[in-house]
Amino acid sequence: MHTTSVALSKRFIRSLATQVQSAPKDGRDFVRYLEYLKTSKDMRPLLYRPTNAAKLLTMDLGGGVIPTPRDPIQLPSVLSYAHLLGQMESAEQLQKHFVELRQVHKKALWEHLSAQHLEHMLLRATFGLRCFGPTLTAVYQMKPLFARAKNVDAYDVDHLFNMILTCRLHTNSLLQNVDPAIAVKKVAMSWDNTSARQTSTGLSAELLAALSKQVGAEIPVPAELKVPVTLPSIDLSSCSMGKAAAFVSAHRILYLQARTATTFGSTNEAVMTFVSSYKAALERTGRPDFYDLCVAELAPKEEP
């Protein structure tokens, strides 16, 4: 890979964590959480309670193996999970991770995972590892596990459905021909898998219209998504640098989705205003443009 491409990939992976300065340095928190869930209930108090550390060191599990005390477990943040995904270097590694997740039949895990976790799966798969299709299939396959934990609301509109549409627009743009009938069926399947169907942004209709234009077929907009576009705003003339930076961090993925809509044909005034405001905030803070980084990851890599 060309040196420039390597540097770009590193910048992209670093940007996968939203508030970089306050985020965990890697995905160890999530890995430790999975390890905790896999540990038998009898061993958890011994391994994870500091008061049992001395007792644990006197135990022998056979073969001279002495168990090591663990730090107390806290629920890992979405940022920790984003870091874990960012450290994955291949589609195969990501698919192995999904297999590992599905093998954890613990209600606590599937209660903890959210729409934001699913959103980050698709984000990393599409713009980092180029395996959108298999990853979307894996997301669909996980839904029964979410359902058993009574957490199907993780399959929502504003995070998951909109990210699916965003990723599909970009992956379609790399293909020479997209079958309109198949494109319509794929959107219908995504909508059928959407459980929480309310939207707070109204962006879905714009993404669907852009996809209709791209594939040359009319894609119906569900009634639940026919709402006015409402996106965040900021007055950069009066806000502090800290508030501008917080705005950039908080709405990075929303910006990716909104700018995708405008790139592929949306002329909605509210969407265009948000994109313009976000770009101005990027310029004010000196942050890299997350949309540009994502699109660059889709471009063919230069050979050495």
Per-residue pLDDT of the chain (304 residues), as tens digits, is 444 444 444 443 344 333 333 334 568 889 888 888 888 887 777 777 776 666 666 665 555 555 666 777 788 899 999 999 999 999 999 999 999 999 999 999 999 999 999 999 999 999 999 999 999 999 999 999 999 999 999 999 999 999 999 999 999 999 878 999 999 999 999 999 999 999 999 999 999 999 999 999 999 999 999 999 999 999 999 999 999 999 999 999 999 999 999 999 999 999 999 999 999 999 999 999 999 999 999 876 655 4
Please report the pLDDT score of residue 10 as a whole number.
Answer: 43
Predicted TM-score of the model (pTM): 0.86
Q: Is residue 89 part of a domain?
A: yes
Count: domains in the chain? 1
Q: Is residue 264 part of a domain?
A: no
Q: Is residue 201 part of a domain?
A: no
Q: Is residue 82 part of a domain?
A: yes
Q: Is residue 234 part of a domain?
A: no
Please report the pLDDT score of residue 13 as a whole number.
Answer: 38
Please report the pLDDT score of residue 36 as a whole number.
Answer: 85
Q: Is residue 294 part of a domain?
A: no
Q: Is residue 230 part of a domain?
A: no
Please report the pLDDT score of residue 74 as a whole number.
Answer: 81
Q: Is residue 209 part of a domain?
A: no
Please report the pLDDT score of residue 17 as a whole number.
Answer: 35
Query: With contact defined as beta carbons under 8 Å apart, do 265 and 214 qualify?
Result: yes
Please report the pLDDT score of residue 39 as a whole number.
Answer: 82
